[in-house]
Amino acid sequence: MRARNKNEKPNGARASLWSLLLNTIYFTLFCIVGCIGYFLLEGPINDIINQKKYSDEELELLSKKAMMSLSLEKEKANWDKVVDGIHIRTGFYDDPNLKTVIASCTSCHSAKLVTQNRATRAGWKSMIVWMQETQGLPDLGKSEPIILDYLAKYYAPKATGRRKNIDVDAIDWYVLNIDDTSQ
């Protein structure tokens, strides 16, 4: 056996010091990891702790917003839907060249601007030339004859459009006489 130094502690005391040191290191590491975790998760933790209680009116409003969102999703799903030969989104007549017309016409203006007008093929051509000269419409290239054929087919002048002009001579007019005798 070796002789013990006067400053040397017995093995039990040394093991106890090592155990205390290791426990202190573990506790310190636990605190550091806990603090880092809290700072990383502070937002979600606070959200859970401070979770808002909604009133019935707020819940109804949130429900309506969710339904509107679903409605928009359905609308997107029906983006190119055609019913009774009419493209729902634009109001254009269904045709094999419909997508070309939609791409060319509705990129600058509403489809209503097309559907409310009537013209011959030459009339539509002059409108396209006007848009190119004054509105910045680029050359339509190979699409132009396709678009003109489509417009002339579905949006040509009708034999009866607006009401006829009023025949003012055929009207039996009532003449209002105002006597100025009240003074």
Residue-wise pLDDT for 160-183, tens only, equals 656 778 888 888 888 888 876 655
Domain-embedded: residue 64? no
- Higher-pLDDT residue of 46 and 92 is 92
Where is pLDDT greater, at 151 or 175? 151
In a domain, 180, yes or no: no
Q: Specify the CATH number for the domain of residue 122.
A: 1.10.760
In angstroms, the Cα distances linking 26 to 34, 37, 41 are 12, 16, 22
Q: Is 182 among the domain residues? A: no
Domain count, the chain: 2
Q: Evaluate whether residue 63 is within a structural domain.
A: no
pTM value is: 0.49
Structural domain range at position 38: 15-45
Among candidate residues 154, 156, 150, the one with its CA nearest the CA of residue 99: 150
Alpha-helix residue ranges (DSSP H) falling in the chain: 11-49, 56-77, 98-105, 112-115, 121-134, 143-154
The single-letter code of the amino acid at 106 is: T
Q: According to the model, what pLDDT value does residue 152 have?
A: 94
Tell me if 164 is assigned to some domain. no
Say what the pLDDT of residue 178 is.
Answer: 82
> Would you say residue 88 lies in a domain?
yes
